[in-house]
A = this chain, B = another copy of it.
Amino acid sequence: MFKKIMVANRGEIALRVLRAARELGIKVVVAHSEADSQSLPVLLADEAICIGPPPSAQSYLNIPNLLSAAIISGAEAIHPGYGFLAENPQFAEMCRDHGIVFIGPTPESMHSLGSKAGGREIAAKSNVPTVPGTGVLQSVEEALEAAEKIGYPVLLKASAGGGGRGQKVVRSSEEMKTAFAQAQVEAQNYFSDPSLILEKYIELFRHVEVQVMGDGKGHVVHVGERDCSIQRRNQKLIEEAPSRLEESLRQEILAAGVRLAKYVNYQGAGTLEFIVDPDGNFYFMEMNTRIQVEHCVSEMISGLDLVKLQIKIAAGEPFTLQQSDIQLRGHAIECRLNAEDYDKDFRPSIGKIETLHFPGGTGVRVDSHLYAGYSIPPNYDSLVAKLIVHGENREEAIARMRRALAETVIEGPGVKTTVPFHLKVMDNAFYKRGAIYTNFVTTRMSE
């Protein structure tokens, strides 16, 4: 096992990794920007190294500084968390070149799974359905032709994309030309790659994803699936496990996820995202080759520590966990508490936390880097806490989440959080019934 690892991330996920490592007896170096020098992971770290000024591009995305920090501190491995460099094959490769273990999949599988087109190809080879669509399009003419075959509406997507960025719905051939040009520009801006693909656009669907863990040698297990349909502008806000799909469909999707991950000899923690339409058709979307924000709900129902498993697999420990060892129990829900003002269209809010009180009691878990006196820096994303609950069933989990949200106090001058949004969802009749598609926030919350 490693003696020392470095976390190349910030906020709650840096703390999450630190906790897992500490429980394994591993020393933790936290690499941080100047804006995060008083952050909780830094304060709790065994060592902390400043790797750049506040802007991410110069710190959390600064590969030379991150590698130097790992080298001078003697860290044997780097955990990239999520976001930043977590899915950057080049970074993983440079880690390898410098004799540092990248806690994640190989650069090769990141590369092949990292693009939409690559993912579709692997899905086809492992017999996992994908949304009818194309490979990389060479021209708008090719796009028009493909759209005719598939039938409108269609979706233009950046081949290198993720997180819903750079996507455009096209409802007719008239719209195609402009949309194609715009999508190219966006793809270039967001992902430095203008390549586009085209897919059938499915308007109403659930976002269901399968959590897998693999040893890189063909052994893969799933840790159940999650429903992440409560989204706003393609950003997930609430996740739950298990999904509310009927059992046979659940099992089909879980099997498809494992099949694909086995096909690529996947190593470490990964997530296969599917869309599931109201008729029970499911399509593989993409694989996220990292730990995800919402991994906690899978931990709650399985009792496993997925980040520890990541570290153990990366350290070369034999991965002996069998599918039959994994017993899922009850129902878990996660609410992402963002520092945003729900009453003002989720406008980001920053400031110093003066009063902080998190809920406790049965079945309540809090993952947060906040502390009383901490100032939320303006440089990064707005996630400040994850509130996760577990109950015997979905009904109890919802009641518990409502109770826990009502106990939560995050206060300071100018600080607002999305707690009111989540309370509203927990009281929403559609949500309670489980009638949730990805358009929930826009169609089911107007009153």
CB <8 Å contact, B327 and A329: yes
Contact with B along A385-410 (1 / 0, CB 8 A): 00000111000100110110011000
Bound-complex Cα distance A22 to B330 (A): 20
* Further contacts, 17 of them, CB under 8 A, given A327-B329, A372-B372: A19-B361, A19-B403, A20-B362, A23-B403, A25-B399, A303-B390, A305-B392, A307-B362, A327-B327, A357-B371, A358-B358, A358-B360, A360-B366, A361-B366, A361-B367, A362-B365, A364-B365
Answer whether residue A310 sits at the interface, using C-beta atoms and an 8 A cutoff: no
Which residues in window 340-390 of A have CB below 8 A to B?
A: 355-358, 360-368, 371-372, 390
Contacts of A76 in B (CB 8 A): none
Answer whether residue A277 sits at the interface, using C-beta atoms and an 8 A cutoff: no
CB <8 Å contact, B364 and A24: no
Bound-complex Cα distance A396 to B25 (A): 11
Interface size grouping (class) on chain A: 35 or more
Partner of A303, one of B22, B25, B330, B368: B330
CB <8 Å contact, B362 and A305: yes
Bound-complex Cα distance A329 to B402 (A): 26
Contact with B along A16-33 (1 / 0, CB 8 A): 100110111100000000
Bound-complex Cα distance A204 to B284 (A): 61
Asked whether A396 and B329 contact (CB < 8 A) given A357-B371, A360-B366, A371-B357, the answer is: no
| Nearest opposing residue in chain B for A296, CB measure | B362
Q: 9 tightest CB-CB pairs across the interface, nearest first? A: A360-B366, A23-B399, A19-B361, A22-B403, A23-B403, A305-B362, A303-B330, A23-B400, A303-B329
Partner of A44, one of B390, B400, B407: B407
Contacts of A361 in B (CB 8 A): 15-16, 19, 365-367
